[in-house]
A = this chain, B = another copy of it.
């Protein structure tokens, strides 16, 4: 599991005093970006020289609200490694309470947007991560 800490800040919260849900998707993107940076060691700044890793599908259940001052811990697991795609699950908790759970599929594409096989070393990192889950 790749672990990512996310404090709930003022900018995340809506007039009801809880996280505005589109902001959660920014957090998920930040978590995936940190995973590629530190877990896969293929940082976004390098990826975007040759292509991109767009999200093809995402499904999220918002289980309990989060509020200003909470510290979320996002746990990311690789659930499926395909030739050009990768399945990821993220669960976010605060003090042992699950706040949201999400599953997403990302795809490796070249600069023209065409799916491209993962570099061998990247695929291996996904598999290593997957085994740790």
Task: Judge whether A113 is part of the interface by a CB distance below 8 angstroms.
Answer: yes
Q: Are A62 and B54 in contact (CB under 8 A)?
A: yes
Q: How many residues of A contact B (CB 8 A)?
A: 38
Which B residues touch A10, using CB under 8 A?
14-15, 20, 29, 33, 44, 48
By beta carbon, the residue of chain B nearest A46 is B69
Chief secondary structure at chain A's binding surface: mixed
Which B residues touch A62, using CB under 8 A?
54-58
Task: Judge whether A68 is part of the interface by a CB distance below 8 angstroms.
Answer: yes
Which of A15, A59, A61 has the most chain B CB within a 10 Å cutoff? A15
Task: Judge whether A13 is part of the interface by a CB distance below 8 angstroms.
Answer: yes
Query: Could you tell me the distance in whole angstroms from the C-beta of A8 to the nearest C-beta in chain B?
Result: 9
Q: Are A21 and B17 in contact (CB under 8 A)?
A: no
Mark out the residues of chain A between 1 and 51 whose CB falls within 8 Å of any chain B CB in the assembled complex. Answer: 9-11, 13-18, 20-23, 25-26, 28-30, 33, 43-45, 48
Question: Can you show 12 pairs from A to B with CB atoms below 8 A apart?
Answer: A9-B30, A9-B44, A11-B20, A15-B68, A16-B48, A21-B25, A21-B29, A22-B22, A22-B23, A57-B60, A57-B61, A58-B59
